Structure 1
Amino acid sequence: MKEIQDIVQAFTRHTAEGKQTALATVVHVEGSSYRRPGARMLVSDDGQLTGAISGGCLEGDALRKARLAMSEGRPALVKYDTMDDDDAKLGVGLGCNGIIHILIEPIDLTSSQHPLSLLQKVIGQRQVAVVVTLFSLQDRKGPQPGTCYVTQFDEEVITPALSEALLSEVQADVRATRSSLVSSTKSYKHGQNTFTAFLEVLQPAPALVICGAGNDVMPLVNMASLLGWPTTVVDGRANYATQDRFPHARQVLVAKPEQVLPNLTVDHTTIFLLFTHNYNYDLAMLRLLLPLPLPYIGVLGPKKKMARMLDELQEEGLHLEEAQVNKVFGPVGLDLGAETSEEIALSVLAEIKAVLARRNARFLRDKQESIHATAGASIPEPTIS
């Protein structure tokens, strides 16, 4: 989501300066690639790039093709075959061993439903969205509908590029995608044309609430900002919890434990970290947080502290389900050998990412399967309308 936020901000800036732009999106990958479907890059007519569609090896050529698409005023589907060891014919050093399909869409500001306007809607709400990008692998020179459908809440935005004939089929697959929360690729046969749709699930960025405003929290806030995670810092000490100390925090609250939740919007993406170095404050917060459907609660300190807190809560009569205890991580963080505040912040944020992605953090070198489970996924046979 951070990449999309950066792209939308850059688009707003370029538009204010009167620049033309195009959006490049990785829509399908066969084999291995540095970026997966859904990776995006905004290109301005003066050559500025925001986002990335590869590790840097495709951007130069994509820039040239994006300028051509802007001059012609129509989307273009570009194919990069990196399976050949002789990368010289592309003029880039790839070594990804895959085929990458990139859709380039010039942004038409006369349309109210261009791709960037749809992405602006997505980041404007902290809700799961499904974005549909339609393209034709069969006929690259034919129509490329592009980013044509967004659904969020129960609201749908459908562009004229998505024909009525395909709409019902796409909507059925969107409903299935919203239910599974897994991005997918579908294919549709319509008359003589075969279209492929990339149905992308976009989750809101995790919202980080850090209870504690000590110096060790500063690197956490700064790193979370780099990730695009909105962060709130809470502390009972007014001289610690200040915006001056945490300029990258979206919100800074001076609050006692019982005042914290009434001043926040908490949802299924909210992460809590208890870093106050105050046992009673952390215990009071944990008492309030355990009943909530949160994905992660991190508690700074040794195992003895964590065990004591849970024992005290149970002695108070608080019944703890296994699922409630399993979402509490104390000591917090991955075992990286972290010592400094910065290293601890890295350890904590890496653990949060692993938990949210349902991954067992380990060396990629030791992984037997591909890095991305969906890499090289084939396109299903088209349904016929």
Structure 2
Amino acid sequence: MKEINDIIKAYDEAQQKGEQSALATVVHVAGSSYRREGARMLITEHGQLTGAISGGCLEGDALRKALLAMAQQRPMLVTYDTNDEEDATIGLGLGCNGIIQVLIEPIDAARSGNPIALLKAVASKRQYSVLVTLFSLHDKRAVQPGTCMMVTADGCIANDSIPLKDMLIKDASLVLHQQQSLFKELEFESAPLNAFIEMIPPSVALIIVGAGNDTIPLVQMADLLGWQSTIVDGRPEYAKAERFTAGCQVLLSKPENLLDKISIDDHTVFLLMTHNYNYDMAMLPVLLANNVVYAGMLGPRKKRDRMLQELQDKGISFTPTQLSVLHSPIGLDIGAETPEEIALSVIAEIKAVLSGKKGSPLAANNSPVIHSRAVLKA
């Protein structure tokens, strides 16, 4: 979501300057690539790039193609074959061994359903969204419909001229239900048409209970990732917004009142970092009873075990499923010592948990590809 928000901001700035812009989107990958389907980059007529579609090897040529697309006011599909070590276009011999399809769409600000308008609709609410992008792999010279529909559980925004609209709404609803992007080939007016039906989850909401100095690098790193951070503390002298980044929300709250102020979804994670045993013990049963996906607690294993035992003595027990989301001590074992290193360890563990990964070295992965396949084919 951070990339989308950055692109929206860059587009608005370009509009204020009266500059044209185009959106480049990776819509299909065969084999390996640095970025997967859904990677985006905004390109302005003066060459400003926001976002990325590769590790840097495709951006220069994409800029040239985008300037052409803006001049012609016509979307184009560009193929990059990184299997070819002699490819003069890529020219870096990266050996990614993949074929990458990039759709470049000039943005018409006067059209209400343009790609940036749809991205703004995605970013406007904290919910799962689906973007539908249509293109033709069979005939790159054909008209490329482009990014044309946004679907959420509570509605649909689509271009008036979108082909096969009803069928695509059904496919988008299925993607919402399965929470898995889909690549599909459609028959349209005797010619095949390809659809990238992309699931976009909301940003991670990081709730840190405790406003000590060791939370500051955590918030800074979360901000770099585009996560939405909220700091909660019952001490007025600590719960001050000026101590944290501008995008961080700071709440003064007692533990029993916290959930009255926060909405929880499956991208909401909690960290207990109060350095206050009683406050943490008051919060822990509240979090575990609400089926959060991740609850990390600062401190040694001995603290966790003692706390759970005291809660059990009070008649408060938890199921194995509830306990499985409790991570204490928090973080991956990277030898972290300083607050900044601990923050890196914790952020990495949260990312691994949300991605369903173990946080092990990539070198230990025997799979031929680094990225797991994010898009199903139908």
TM-score normalised by the chain length of structure 2:
0.97
By relative contact order (CA 8 Å, sep 6+), the higher-ranking structure is 1
Tell me which amino acid in the other structure corresponds to 2:42: L
Distance 1:245 1:154 in 2: 37
Correspondence for 1:366: 364
1:282: which partner in 2? 280
Q: Determine helix, strand or coil for the equivalent of 1:331.
A: coil
Amino acid aligned to 1:347: S
Contact between 1:268 and 1:293, CA under 8 Å: does it hold in 2? Answer: no
Pair 1:348 & 2:346 matched: yes
The Cα of 1:345 is off from its aligned counterpart by 0.4
Question: Residues 90, 215 of structure 1: CA spacing in aligned structure 2 closer, same or farther, 3 A cutoff?
Answer: closer
Question: What runs of 5+ residues in structure 1 fail to find an aligned partner?
Answer: 381-385
* Paired residues of 2:74 and 2:106 also in contact (CA < 8 A): yes
The alignment's C-alpha RMSD in Å is: 1.4
Aligned partners of 1:340, 1:25: CA distance in 2, in Å? Answer: 39
Residue aligning to 2:200 = 202
| Counterpart-to-counterpart distance in 1, 2:190 and 2:287 | 56
Alignment partner, residue 189 of structure 1: 187
- Runs of 5+ in structure 2 lacking a partner? none
Partner of 1:69: 69
CA displacement at 1:249 relative to structure 2: 4.7
Alignment length (residue pairs) = 377
Q: Does 1:11 align with 2:7?
A: no
1:242-299 superposed Cα distances (whole Å, 9 cap, x missing partner): 1111134521112221232222233332111000100001111112111112110000
Summarize the alignment of residues 54-93 of structure 1 with structure 2, pairs less than 5 Å apart. Answer: 54-88=54-88, 90-93=90-93
Q: Where do residues 1-385 of structure 1 align in structure 2 (5 Å cutoff)?
A: 1-88=1-88, 90-163=90-163, 166-369=164-367, 370-374=369-373, 380=378
CA distance in 2, matches of 1:185, 1:349: 31
1:133-184 alpha-carbon deviations (Å, 9 max, x no partner): 1100001010101001111122001113412xx1232222212211110111
Q: Distance in 1 between matches of 2:257 and 2:176?
A: 35
> Which ranges of 4 or more aligned residues in structure 1 deviate by more than 6 Å?
none
Amino acid at match of 1:333: G
Q: Secondary structure at the match of 1:87?
A: coil
CA distance in 2, matches of 1:189, 1:220: 49
SS at match of 1:117: helix
**1:35-66 Cα distance to aligned partner (Å, 9 max, x none):** 00000000011100000000011001000100
- Name the SS of the counterpart of 2:139 in structure 1: coil
Percent of pairs with identical residues: 52
Equivalent AA in structure 1 for residue 16 of structure 2: A
Between 1:98-107 and 1:168-177, the stretch displaced more is: 168-177
- CA–CA distance in structure 2, aligned partners of residues 144 and 94 of structure 1: 29
Amino acid at match of 2:12: T
How much does 1:27 deviate?
A: 0.2
Shift in Å, 1:327: 0.5
- Which amino acid letter does the alignment assign opposite residue 53 of structure 1? I
Indicate conservation of the 8 Å contact 2:61/2:89, yes or no. Answer: no
